[in-house]
Structure 1
Amino acid sequence: MTELDRRSFLGRGLATTGGVLASGVAIETLTAHASWADAGRPAAGAHRAGYGPPARTPSKNTGEELLALPAGFSYVVLGRTGTTMTDGVATPIAHDGMAAFPGTRRHTVRLIRNHEVRTAPGSPVGRVLVEGSARYDELGVAGTTTLEVDLRSGEVLRHFVSLNGTIVNCAGGRMLHDRGWLTCEETTAGVAQGWRRKHGYIFQVPLNGPEPGRPAPSQPLTAMGRFSHEAVAVDPRTGYVYETEDDSGKPDGFYRFRPRDPRDLAAGGVLEMLKVKGADGYDCREGQTMGARIPVEWVRIDDPDPDLENGAQTCTQQGLAKGGAMFNRLEGCWYGDGSIFFNSTSGGDAKNGDAPGADGYREGYGQVWRYVPGRRDGGTLVLVYESPGRRELDSPDNLTFTPRGGIVLCEDDAGSVDADPHPLAPGLVNVNRLIGLDPRRGQPFEFAVNIADDSEFAGACFSPDGSVLFVNQLGDTVSPDPPGRTYAIRGPWHRGPL
């Protein structure tokens, strides 16, 4: 790509979005969500939602047809697996959860990106590693990388490992006051599986501090729980951290962590699981009504760091024993509109055909939930959207709010029986998409299609000025083929709900 092409691609957004947006504008413009979340049904005219049908689109900087996007949208590829970073390390595999922060210089953005590497202990394949750095587990293969991107030129200014010594870093969330990123391990593996240390924790990646060759020390926040973490979201009014759990084949819980000091999560606190008032073991996975307001309370997890190797009860077992509510594959989690929105990837009454789990539950096509904190009680739970089938929405994973009041859902097709082909991606059996939720109509619409391979979308997030949507293509979690990629998508956002 020439310098002129880069500037024309990434430079137009500052004008088309009406100038630089304030960092808090996303929260301030999300009140529209309440109308359709509480109504529990799509509004009239939902067929007009979105930006029009996607079409196969070549990348501006590589020429490869990797995405299908609506007319007027374009993209570049950043941080592909295998490319050499500023610190001399090869870009790892398995690009997953991510967040965008203001950069260190004007017109720049800093991305902190997870790598869900699932190789064997110490394996060099696609590993996140800086030799000699402070690592929690010397055999850890996963972690995070940080990219600094110039929004005008599209150039990656710096790209380096910002945390290593962990495993299976799936998603996470922004720290209080945007001081950095909370990265989550989606596993409870330990010494019995060949690692030096036990895993299943949340780690902090400061926004400022890590530099090329000097990643942040990886220290687990054990009071926040040891379980198969997926994502977190922080309520800026209280500092409470809400956490999702994704342990396939078993009921999962929705948690909150009440820290002693919201500015110092390492100081400890109380871990709790959501419970529906007056209904022990309430099953949120099916039989629910969109828009119904469900009063909830919270039960304490007495042992947030269980010794699983010696038969201790898991955090999930502890919470369910006290009547905690059951979900299925809780994944993406985001704060907005004074609420916490989160996805149940395989919840819902419309089933995908897979064999039932250990407790007999058959997976659905996905749910989007909203938790509204209460001032004098435990708060309220609302089912915002439930997919009636794969065409509308198939297995929502990560999610993000947009500066204009919409929601973007990253699909991670979880079904192994129900094939999910797409006319724009011939030859692929399970195709993943970015699905938008229109706050005015409450209707999902197809925004982007991964036409490169069958890996999931992950880590969707907007630049602070609202001009660029960054999103990852996971690639493979144990090999460099297919590779992980980060996309920067630019277009006429003002023409639609995202």
Structure 2
Amino acid sequence: MDRRQVLRAGVVGAGAAAFSGALWERAFAAAAQPGVGPYGELLPAGADGLALPAGFTGRVVARSGRTVPGTTYTWHAAPDGGACFADGPGWIYVSNSEIPVAGGASAIRFGSDGGVRSAYRILSGTSVNCAGGATPWHTWLSCEEIPHGRVLETDPWGVRPARERTGMGRFKHEAAACDPDRRVVYLTEDEEDGCFYRFVPGAWGDLDTGRLQVLCAPVGTTSGTVTWRDVPDPGGRPVPTRRQVGAALRFDGGEGCWYDHGTCYFTTKGDNRVWAYDAAASTVALAYDDSLVSGTPPLTGVDNITGSPRNADLYVAEDGGNMELNLITADGVVAPFLRLTGQDASEITGPAFNPAGDRLYFSSQRGVSGAKSGSGGITYEVTGPFRGP
């Protein structure tokens, strides 16, 4: 048996046992498999290289190094992680910049009609800002993907200064997801032997103090019960955080992170997996693994992840692959939702829905040029008949 056969035999059965109760009903009895998505096949790409299902349309809202249309603000290079925030009848899309030294983050403010009202910088003086996460109290956690990287809590309106949240650890941060039920923040780490963390603040809504914990389980665990242990030194010096607790479970390149109704989904790029942590039961299982797919895996190079505010659908972006944003439904079907053509040297980043769930934003980090500087970055908006519950 090859690796795919071994994993399919061993993990699918164990995963089915791990997914129980609400998680079983809402997510997966086994790792997701290819199928026809709820929106059908993709139509041929238009002039902008964007292929979408019937009924959906896309537009470019910003390009790196160019003025955001309708404003005087120049959009940043290498757009990465993003999120949307309600702004009266409109909304704000926040986007990180994954470049060294001058990274930071910017924002575009939209009116209720979807028109651009303004664009501006919300974070400066940081480096390689990759992903992050929105908080329930309407701030953006921007994460540095560098050794001893920081988490910066920023204001999407650009009024209040950003604050470094040292208690959330100094490591190669990737993404963050808030769990308002248990009042913790989950964090991923982009290392080949990285860990999955949670930050337990001293007071919910205030990330100034608290405890950093790491998920623990036997080596090689892909499903079953897990525990949490405190990280002795969140500052990570001289011993990196991921090496301070011997029982910590290792993950191959942590990427996106998304919490929804008791489950925290997170991705690992080294093995093309989407994990599901059942916070109530304190168990993990595989929601997707390309080694468990029958036939050709539709989703590779897993990266950023987000969910629809209208239902339980997950959207997983590819870093490489064939430049798709894939949809994973609650009944375990994985299928492409959109594809970018002519941008093979780029990656899809920052998927996020507006509060109403009828507009989806994302970026092509390097665009058509594929320049490593991210100077060719493109940020898109997709509108259409996104389904309800």
TM-score range, shorter chain: 0.7 to 0.9
2-structure distance, mates of 1:477, 1:229: 23
Question: Who is 1:114 aligned against?
Answer: 96
Match of 2:79 among 70, 73, 95: 95
- 5 Å-filtered alignment, 1:458-473, equals 458-473=349-364
Aligned residues: 360
> Per-residue deviation at 1:89?
4.6
Match of 1:479 among 364, 368, 373: 373
Which has a greater percent of strand?
2
Question: Who is 1:283 aligned against?
Answer: 220
Match of 2:339 among 449, 459, 466: 449
2-structure distance, mates of 1:246, 1:151: 36
- 5 Å-filtered alignment, 1:211-222, equals 211=159, 216-222=160-166
Whether the 8 Å CA contact 1:37–1:382 is kept in 2: the answer is no
Whether the 8 Å CA contact 1:32–1:405 is kept in 2: the answer is no
> Per-residue deviation at 1:477?
7.1
CA 1:160–1:452 in structure 2 vs 1: closer, same or farther (change >3 Å)? farther
Please tell me the root mean square deviation across aligned C-alpha atoms, in Å. 2.3
Q: Cα deviation per residue 1:270-300 (whole Å; 9 max; x = unaligned)?
A: 1111001xx3xx124xxx4xxx4x1111122
CA 1:368–1:111 in structure 2 vs 1: closer, same or farther (change >3 Å)? same
CA 1:477–1:221 in structure 2 vs 1: closer, same or farther (change >3 Å)? farther
Question: Who is 1:492 aligned against?
Answer: 385
Amino acid at match of 2:273: Q
Whether the 8 Å CA contact 2:102–2:125 is kept in 1: the answer is yes
Match of 1:381 among 284, 305, 313: 284
2-structure distance, mates of 1:326, 1:401: 25
> Per-residue deviation at 1:343?
0.8
2-structure distance, mates of 1:386, 1:36: 18
Amino acid at match of 2:53: P
CA 1:237–1:33 in structure 2 vs 1: closer, same or farther (change >3 Å)? closer
> Per-residue deviation at 1:374?
3.6
Q: Cα deviation per residue 1:378-404 (whole Å; 9 max; x = unaligned)?
A: x11121221136642102111111122
Question: Who is 1:341 aligned against?
Answer: 265
Q: Given the alignment of the two structures, is residue 436 of structure 1 paired with residue 362 of structure 2, yes or no?
A: no
Q: Cα deviation per residue 1:426-455 (whole Å; 9 max; x = unaligned)?
A: xxxxx3101001213x02101111114121
Match of 1:314 among 240, 245, 249: 240
Match of 2:302 among 381, 384, 396: 396
> Per-residue deviation at 1:68?
0.9
Match of 2:66 among 80, 83, 88: 83
Larger Rg: 1
Question: Who is 1:332 aligned against?
Answer: 256
CA 1:345–1:41 in structure 2 vs 1: closer, same or farther (change >3 Å)? closer
Give the 3-state SS of the residue equivalent to 1:316 in structure 2. helix
Whether the 8 Å CA contact 1:168–1:187 is kept in 2: the answer is yes
Whether the 8 Å CA contact 1:457–1:473 is kept in 2: the answer is yes
CA 1:227–1:87 in structure 2 vs 1: closer, same or farther (change >3 Å)? farther
Unpaired segments of 5 or more residues in structure 1? 1-30, 59-63, 119-139, 189-198, 348-365, 414-419, 421-430
Question: Who is 2:16 aligned against?
Answer: none
CA 1:99–1:42 in structure 2 vs 1: closer, same or farther (change >3 Å)? closer
1-structure distance, mates of 2:73, 2:337: 34
Whether the 8 Å CA contact 1:328–1:344 is kept in 2: the answer is yes
Q: Given the alignment of the two structures, is residue 269 of structure 1 paired with residue 269 of structure 2, yes or no?
A: no
- 5 Å-filtered alignment, 1:24-35, equals 34-35=24-25
Question: Who is 1:129 aligned against?
Answer: none
- 5 Å-filtered alignment, 1:218-297, equals 218-247=162-191, 250-266=192-208, 268-276=209-217, 279=218, 282-284=219-221, 288=222, 292=223, 294-297=224-227
Whether the 8 Å CA contact 1:36–1:42 is kept in 2: the answer is no
Question: Who is 1:47 aligned against?
Answer: 35
Q: Given the alignment of the two structures, is residue 187 of structure 1 paired with residue 146 of structure 2, yes or no?
A: yes
Q: Cα deviation per residue 1:336-367 (whole Å; 9 max; x = unaligned)?
A: 021211111222xxxxxxxxxxxxxxxxxx11
Whether the 8 Å CA contact 1:410–1:433 is kept in 2: the answer is yes
Unpaired segments of 5 or more residues in structure 2? 1-20
Q: Given the alignment of the two structures, is residue 161 of structure 1 paired with residue 121 of structure 2, yes or no?
A: yes
CA 1:149–1:87 in structure 2 vs 1: closer, same or farther (change >3 Å)? closer
